Amino acid sequence: MKNKVIIGISSNIEIISDTHNLGKERSILNQDYVKAVIHSGGVPLILPIIEHQELIEAQVSSIDALVISGGYDVHPFLYNEEPHILLENVYPERDHYEKSLIETAYRLKKPILGICRGMQLLNVVFGGSLYQDVSLIDGDLIQHRQKSRSHSLSHCVYIVPDTRLFSIFKQEKIQTNSYHHQAVKRLAPEFKISAKAKDGVIEGIEKEGDHFILGVQWHPEGFCLQNTYMLQLFRELVHAAHAAKGTG
Ligand code: MN
């Protein structure tokens, strides 16, 4: 396995409501993420939510790149706001875990890909803020929470030239799925916008400089196998993981 890179994927916790396991917490992740990493040539490793920094360091040391997956809303305390009435489910333990995970991966120079909530959390951890619901944005909004399955395309995304995202897709306009009700408000310092929807909602961000830290608001893993061009995002992450590890 010398030439393989390990891609850590953060997971969620579900509280079980069936009789036999009532109230139990279970670590979960949609298998789409696992398949996307495998089809991109990486070795997927699901990372459970843990608390202690020492263990988080060990988790990050054992991977070559990190995917922050989708999930609940980020608690607005992380960007110094009170909860708006339109805020949905939050799970602060996951916020704190992933904040540490991102900070540790950043310090250890591991590439990071944030997906949906993962992109929003990247923005928050590096000093930005969020709209707690897209309806709080002025103007005529398009639908950002599609009512169809994740492999069906929902809205267009316009990619900004001269960004890492553009170098991945080599197109100014792509079609994506969309499953979010929050959005980036104040962009984190040292980040740039790499994609927007037609209504101006931010759909992609990336950190300036050589370190691969990139977020997308859609779910590329949801339709990687139907639209192979979307796999390119994961292939670039695997490529960056090789480069960081020194096996590229
Ligand atoms: Mn969207």
The pLDDT of residue 10: 98
Please report, rounded to a whole number, the percentage of residues in the chain having pLDDT higher than 70. Answer: 99
Mean pLDDT of the chain: 95
The pLDDT of residue 29: 98
The pLDDT of residue 2: 64
Q: pLDDT band at residue 193, thresholds of 50, 70 and 90?
A: very high
Q: Are 79 and 99 in contact (CB under 8 A)?
A: no
CA of 197 to the centre of ligand 1 (A): 7
CA of 112 to the centre of ligand 1 (A): 20
The pLDDT of residue 227: 77
| Residues 56-64, mean pLDDT to the nearest whole number | 98
The pLDDT of residue 198: 97
Is 75 among the catalytic positions? no
CA of 95 to the centre of ligand 1 (A): 22
> Which pLDDT tens digit goes with each residue over 78-92?
999 999 999 999 999
220 pLDDT higher than 80: yes
201 pLDDT higher than 80: yes
Is 219 among the catalytic positions? yes
1 pLDDT higher than 70: no
Taking every pair of Cα atoms in the chain, the longest distance, rounded to a whole number of angstroms, is 54
Q: pLDDT band at residue 248, thresholds of 50, 70 and 90?
A: low
Is 208 among the catalytic positions? no
Pick the range with the lowest mean pLDDT from 8-22, 111-125, 176-190: 8-22
Q: pLDDT band at residue 173, thresholds of 50, 70 and 90?
A: very high
CA distances from 202 to 60, 148, 212, 215 (A): 28, 21, 19, 10
CA of 216 to the centre of ligand 1 (A): 9
- Where do we find the tokens 């489910």? 89
